Structure 1
């Protein structure tokens, strides 16, 4: 009998998949797109994510814990299933690979400026491959260990209590906001990652409660982290400063001076390697699961190796950080569509099937 995921592990898996490199520049995005006191909109985006999680919980309840692939394949023709699965595989693989490339390029700029980024990306992908072939249960255990390596860094924000100026949180709300719709979609993509719990249905014990509650708690942890970082940046810097900074959180940490440690921001960036590693691992794991449903007889190790190699090949294309961010912008739009569209499609399928059974 296969071991089932505990809700605690699911909670931390969701958090580690959501919170990542975006934390470094999220305050700047909030200032640019949402204007004065833009950090407040994080509560709105978190609420939207909770609505999406509710849709996923409806799928889980109506489907009684069945795999989403079985639900789709039993109701839709292969003519529809093939392009749908192909889209999921492409988006999830590319999203994982570009998140990793973004982190590697950032890591190179601040820590190893003379090292070619693709060398580091190769090592990154080898570790991701090693985790993926071990299965989701071992991935969740790794995510739990990595969580404790990362979460303590929030304590560093306490260094800026004295420098926090309430006057920077002006009574103006959302003034000087620009491109709210496109910017809002980009900011909301920082919450993405929870939608992959759709693929965890067969790996949790459907007889025990707490699975979906764990997803909500994971999203809450992400929201709390984003709020803590963004509020600190909005209170420490002026609005104009925030809009001009590329990575406000890294610049903020550079102010910390300890007698036994220099450049603490570099250590902070290095620690977030594990968060990016979990992100690429989970997204490519999801793509592997989808591919195996599309080609049931295919060897899982071969599927994983092929997808990781394809992701590595594609990551050669964007060679500057701005290009990677552009890729992530459009991939984020597609991932948002999948996050809402896939549960809605499954709910319609299950509602029709359950209705048909009742009529029969």
Structure 2
């Protein structure tokens, strides 16, 4: 990336939104109904607030570190050799999350549209596109994100078709009654927001015009508003029993829409989610690649990107059902939640130690 190619405020906002918004929305109403019970949609702004608190921590790192790379910040105080286990851990978690997000989408799409086709063929085509985007650099990835955003955001207009059958009576006068969720379910819902933490790796690609913190918060707010809006409509269109029974309520809702020129609109709807899914996977694997460059500094970026994509493709053969993928995803998303909060705190501590060294020198 050239020094002049910095992310704009708009690109940063779209970047955060596209990293967060993904296939979890297919099942999010069911997860909310099961975990929190009636009117579970109302907790989504609370999750959004937690994300903003985390972004404020990341913004503090950005301000204290004056936009320096998080790897430079760490290596300024801690020898690189001692950081290798941390780097390997981050590469593994981010690569696995990208792998699982992609495999889950492929299995859902295959189930809806091509039930007799090997899902790994779709995964192969997706991974070729992901590799091509990974090697283009963050600035070009952000431009692709903006294009993908316009390709997919129009789908929100389909929600208007549900207004005719929407009923406030289905929302019931009771809030958060009948939920049976555990702590793992609470964390599982938070996984719908994950992705924003990867903005820590974009520090060197920003400047004052990017308005890093404000743009990041706006992108996350956009995700929260859209999640809340879609889930509110789902809770008003489907009864609590229906929500608890359906695995993918949003896709089932799409089946209610009938056009004379389109059959199985839910398959078309799922197909357009390829854009948001590809971008989420690209950012996780790009982050794994950027971290991997610290482990193998002499390896060419394209080779490293190819190795990561290839390994992810091979690993994707292991969880061969949606339930297996979701089980793995719950584990890695829980780990990622810890990373999202502890890594900025570690960086703040390192920056504080750096300041103390400078002050005592």
> Normalising by structure 1, what TM-score?
0.98
CA offset digits 1:201-245 (Å, max 9, x no partner): 00112x335121111111011111111111011000111110110
Which runs of no fewer than 5 residues in structure 2 stay unpaired? none
Partner of residue 312, structure 2? 311
Partner of residue 66, structure 2? 64
Partner of residue 234, structure 2? 233
CA offset digits 1:153-181 (Å, max 9, x no partner): 11111111121110111121221112342
Partner of residue 185, structure 2? 183
Partner of residue 86, structure 1? 88
Answer whether contact 2:8 2:210 (CA < 8 A) is retained. no
1:112 CA displacement:
1.1
Partner of residue 276, structure 2? 275
Stretch of structure 1 that moved more, 349-358 or 301-310: 349-358
Cα distance in structure 2, aligned partners of 1:77 and 1:301: 26
Cα distance in structure 2, aligned partners of 1:67 and 1:41: 34
Partner of residue 44, structure 1? 46
What aligned pairs does 1:295-310 form with structure 2 within 5 A after superposition? 295-310=296-311
1:79 CA displacement:
4.7
What aligned pairs does 1:135-284 form with structure 2 within 5 A after superposition? 135-205=137-207, 207-208=208-209, 210-284=211-285
Cα distance in structure 2, aligned partners of 1:356 and 1:210: 29
Cα distance in structure 1, aligned partners of 2:261 and 2:88: 52
Cα distance in structure 2, aligned partners of 1:191 and 1:61: 23
Please give the secondary structure, in 2, of the residue aligned with 1:66.
Answer: coil
What aligned pairs does 1:88-103 form with structure 2 within 5 A after superposition? 88-103=90-105
CA offset digits 1:15-51 (Å, max 9, x no partner): 1111110011100000011111111110111000000
Answer whether contact 1:96 1:280 (CA < 8 A) is retained. yes
CA offset digits 1:110-159 (Å, max 9, x no partner): 01111100011011111100110111111111110000011111111111
> Normalising by structure 2, what TM-score?
0.97
Answer whether contact 1:36 1:173 (CA < 8 A) is retained. yes
Answer whether contact 1:34 1:180 (CA < 8 A) is retained. no
Partner of residue 9, structure 1? 11
Residue of structure 2 aligned with 1:119, choices 117, 121, 127: 121
CA offset digits 1:271-314 (Å, max 9, x no partner): 00011100111100000000102221111111001111110010
Stretch of structure 1 that moved more, 10-19 or 308-317: 10-19
Cα distance in structure 2, aligned partners of 1:131 and 1:50: 28
1:10 CA displacement:
1.2
Which runs of no fewer than 5 residues in structure 1 stay unpaired? none
Cα distance in structure 1, aligned partners of 2:29 and 2:246: 9
Cα distance in structure 2, aligned partners of 1:161 and 1:80: 57
1:269 CA displacement:
0.4
1:77 CA displacement:
3.1
Answer whether contact 2:9 2:209 (CA < 8 A) is retained. no
1:359 CA displacement:
3.6
Please give the secondary structure, in 2, of the residue aligned with 1:161.
Answer: helix
Cα distance in structure 2, aligned partners of 1:147 and 1:155: 14
Aligned residues: 359
Partner of residue 27, structure 1? 29
Cα distance in structure 2, aligned partners of 1:43 and 1:352: 35
